[in-house]
Amino acid sequence: MSLAEFDFASRMKEPPHLFELRLDRLARVIDRVENKISRLRAPLIITARDPMEGGANRLSPSERHNLLARFLSRARYIDVELRSAPVFVSLLRLARRQNVRRIISVHHLKNTPSRSRLQAQARAAKTYGADFFKVATRTDTPAQLMRLLDFAAAKDVDIAVSAMGIGKLGAASRVLLACRGSALVYVSLGRSDIEGQMSLDQLRAFGMAPPR
């Protein structure tokens, strides 16, 4: 979310069920965001993405931690990458005490790993108290897409899964995974710089995201 998208979101008559607040992208205007945050008319997922998983502004772990802690009281969900969970474990415990639900995420930007590796990552996320395991993988080929679908359809992962593809088959993956019960479906408010990410209007056209 950019500041322009933030302002657009605050004016929406039919907002989505949740907004994701990308604090790493908003770090340079964070005071302005904090002053306007009450204008958003849907609960918030807060995240400050690790630079190794697509995060903006090359923020250090301490900078990301401070951003998340600053906005924790405003959030319904907090999203922390699995690679960052050991560093942010105290923040995840604080989120639990404040009844903020925890999303532990992984982003495989170059490929889709095997089902067994994704299952191992989901189990690791659960050890950090995750309520949801979010996984985004590269889906440029049918084989990559099938690996992601097979993982999402597996019944031996005892945690809610939000799965999505990026790349050439990203849009198809999101429709298929939404139909198969992906716990959270991520879309853009308008045009996206993430290949394969659908817009909210496109998802609603499929009848999968009814207005509030």
Q: Exposed (0-12), middle (13-18) or buried (19+): which is 185, by Cβ within 10 Å?
A: buried
Q: What percent of the chain has pLDDT over 90?
A: 76
* Count of CB atoms situated within 10 Å of the CB of 86: 8
How does pLDDT run across 42-68, given as a tens digit for each residue?
999 999 999 999 899 999 999 999 999
Q: What is the pTM of this model?
A: 0.92
Separation CA 39–CA 201 (nearest Å): 21
Residue 170 pLDDT > 70, yes or no? yes
Separation CA 171–CA 19 (nearest Å): 20
Residues whose CB falls within 8 Å of the CB of residue 36, separated by 6 or more in sequence, listed in order: 6, 7, 10
Residues whose CB falls within 8 Å of the CB of residue 146, separated by 6 or more in sequence, listed in order: none
Output the pLDDT for position 147: 97
Token reading at 133: 């395991």
How high does pLDDT run on average in the chain?
92
Residue type, 126: K
Rounded CA Rg of the chain: 16
How does pLDDT run across 65-109, given as a tens digit for each residue?
999 999 999 999 999 999 999 999 999 999 999 999 999 999 999
Name the strands in the sheet holding 132-138, side by side, starting at the edge strand that comes first in the sequence.
19-22, 44-47, 77-81, 101-108, 132-138, 160-166
